A and B are shown apart, each in its own frame.
Chain A
Amino acid sequence: MKKESKFLDYIKIILVEIVAFFLFLFFLKIESIWIVIAAILLAILIYFLSKIYKEKFRALIELFSRYQNFAIGVLFILLIIYPFISPLIITHSTYWMLILIQTGIYIMIALGLNFQLGSTGMMNLATAAFYGIGAYTAGLLALKLGWTALLTIPLGGLAAAFAGLLLVIPIYRTKGHYLALVTLAFGFMLVLAADNIEIIGGPQGLKNIPPVNIFGYNFLTEIGSLHFYTNYYYLVLAILGITIFIFARLFNSWIGLTSAYIRDDEPAAKGCGININLRKLLVFVFGNFFMGVAGAIYAHMIGFISPPNFQFAQSLLIVAIVIIGGMDNILGVIVAAILLVVFPEKLRVVTEYRIFLYGILLVVTLILRPRGILPFGPRKYDSSILKFARKGGS
């Protein structure tokens, strides 16, 4: 009996995910603006249905959180077969694949920022600049020295991480709005500097950055009839998987817990003996590392980078992803990234009005849901930890 219900649960999860997956595919397929609007209405309908059938909806969420690993596994398989299915359904599948890769890159940056802003409460408005440092480092190493992507991608991350060290004193001494301004100014300085330094291309940027080439396998090779972007799709998927794994582990570790303590009440955290300065610095450097890695991948994939790619508007987009995602919520960040990166591409049908609508959507979302789409409540620990605590106490 019990075994059977478990089996049923698995089937349910698989069904829900497959339905969601195909809904997403069809959403990418549609081109008429009216169907896009219909899709938005459908999403709103689902939202209200979830309010009406609260119990059933909660049971479903319960199901997913109980078999979390299984659900993630199924999703991963669906994402792996995506490149093979998409050309059958979507007309411009190459274009959408590029958009999905970009979304993956943004999720990576947003997770880095989520660790800083969501978990530890450190505002960073220079994310695009750190992303740019990664891209420029990888681009320069590959162009001038001909290094392989196996080296340039991690080194791009390290360069971004070490650039964060330049801000060590401001991080020690400022917070809140003031830290926001320091990072904002830092981002502006880097873009303006990149624009005016000729060695790194000035306003023309870097051209013809070689593609990723790992152990003789050139990423420009096409897989059967699939476009070469598929290679990058899998690369980003793999690195993103590792990134999500690391951040999920960090969230559940004592590092995540103490970070949340620093965010919620700094003086109290200090009183408990947490070395706040050191911790903030580590969080900042660690978050920047992933932004740098994302930038390096981008540089290799697109092959051309220039200062306008890394402007303040990009940082804003990433901050919006983290905040709308609900802060300190990895799943929320992923959902928000899809909403804010993929969705505007759909609005491209109304090209002219795209950014305008984007601004209005941002405002309306925040007025309706001031704590983001998926706000994360207090941490819940399951009974095993409580039991452990009780044992320790007795």
Chain B
Amino acid sequence: MSSTSIFLQIIFNGAMLGIQYSLIAVGFSLFFGVLDVINFAHGDIFMLGAFVSLTLINVTGLLNTSGATYVFLLILVIILSMIIVGGLGVFFERIVVKPVSKGPTLMSLVATLGLGIAIREAVRLFYPRGSETKRFPELLVKLFPGKEAIEFKGIILRYDNLLILAVGIIVVILLALYINKTKMGLTIRAVAQDAEAASMMGVNKNLIIDVTFFIGSALAALAGFMNGLYYNSIIFDMGAMAGIVGFSAAVIGGLGNIYGAIVGGFLFAMVESLSAALIPRGSEFMTVIAFAVVILFLVFRPSGILGERAYERV
């Protein structure tokens, strides 16, 4: 392999992780926008996404079908898992996140961390053999019979990975359009900017918060599904690290800014995959290096890449 093709392969691997991180980070940014809260349970919502979709795969008997039914059921599973997890996200928001968000910021931080622990443990305890690593079926391979990958400029691109990446990018674009072009998106932005003023203009603030949590949680569920497809295994505590990485990505990009979250997610993933490839013993230290980059970022760009410069009102 030439050095360019190695480089391209690193970029591709980074992009695969990056799209997942971005989808999680977007949730952090959205929630911070409308409720001024860091929802540390979001990583566990991501994990729930993976587990709910695995359950749905088993319930629908997806693996035994083929042809058009297979494609239809696959799409149904994805959409259903997003709806279920989105609903769960709204449920947790109603009973925990919104009540505590009125208190001091740090209280909400701890309460959502507690919620995350409860969700994680609930899966471990109540999911059948929940404490074991679960195999996640390679669903997408079946869509491309005969062929597995194409070669492009000397790098190997698996079809299923390409599909994951494409779906992720389409979802991100749809989200951006939704936030920027629709009326609902406008009201979300209005609540994010000034919740009080928005409710004076007749915006139903509580509904907007529900919608935001639904969207954010559904995107995390999609990320969880992708993660299952990418690694072919899921485990109950996969959300802990994912949540922290997602939060880091949202902060690098600038909390409250969706584009920032996406850029941050890709940046974090690129740093990880570059350091895994280029530095000796890099795969052991890649997260260390990524976090070091996060710290450097915060020092030199304290409000993130795309974040607004914070001025304090005195």
Determine whether the beta carbon of A370 is less than 8 Å from that of B298.
no
Determine whether the beta carbon of B116 is less than 8 Å from that of A169.
no
Determine whether the beta carbon of A359 is less than 8 Å from that of B117.
yes
- List CB contacts (< 8 Å) of B275-314 with chain A: 281, 284-285, 287-288, 291-292, 294-295, 298-299, 302-303, 312, 314
Interface SS of A by simple majority: helix
A360 to B109, CA, bound (A): 14
Q: Is B263 interfacial (CB-CB < 8 Å)?
A: no
Which of A170, A184, A268, A366 contacts B103 (CB under 8 A)?
A366
Determine whether the beta carbon of B284 is less than 8 Å from that of A196.
yes
Q: Is B135 interfacial (CB-CB < 8 Å)?
A: no
- List CB contacts (< 8 Å) of B18-44 with chain A: 38
Determine whether the beta carbon of B288 is less than 8 Å from that of A123.
no
Give the interface residue-count category, chain A: 35 or more
Q: Is A189 interfacial (CB-CB < 8 Å)?
A: yes
Determine whether the beta carbon of B117 is less than 8 Å from that of A362.
yes
With a cutoff of 8 Å between Cβ atoms, the chain A residues found around residue B115 in the complex are 359, 363
With a cutoff of 8 Å between Cβ atoms, the chain A residues found around residue B109 in the complex are 180, 319
Give the interface residue-count category, chain B: 35 or more
Q: Is B273 interfacial (CB-CB < 8 Å)?
A: no
Chain B minimum-CB-distance residue to A118: B106
Determine whether the beta carbon of A370 is less than 8 Å from that of B107.
yes
Known contacts: A363-B118, A372-B107. The answer to whether A185 contacts B291 by CB under 8 A is yes
Q: Tell me, rounded to whole Å, the shortest Cβ–Cβ distance linking A376 to chain B.
A: 12
Determine whether the beta carbon of A352 is less than 8 Å from that of B295.
no
Q: Is B73 interfacial (CB-CB < 8 Å)?
A: no
With a cutoff of 8 Å between Cβ atoms, the chain B residues found around residue A182 in the complex are 294-295, 298-299
With a cutoff of 8 Å between Cβ atoms, the chain A residues found around residue B284 in the complex are 192, 195-196
Which of A192, A196, A266, A359 contacts B114 (CB under 8 A)?
A359
Determine whether the beta carbon of A370 is less than 8 Å from that of B251.
no
A366 to B294, CA, bound (A): 30
Determine whether the beta carbon of A174 is less than 8 Å from that of B299.
yes
Q: Is A353 interfacial (CB-CB < 8 Å)?
A: yes
14 contacts between A and B (CB under 8 A): A169-B299, A174-B298, A185-B295, A192-B287, A196-B281, A267-B314, A353-B125, A356-B122, A356-B125, A358-B117, A360-B114, A366-B100, A366-B107, A371-B103
**In the A-B complex, the 9 residue pairs with the closest CB atoms:** A362-B114, A370-B103, A359-B117, A359-B118, A356-B121, A185-B291, A366-B111, A363-B114, A192-B288
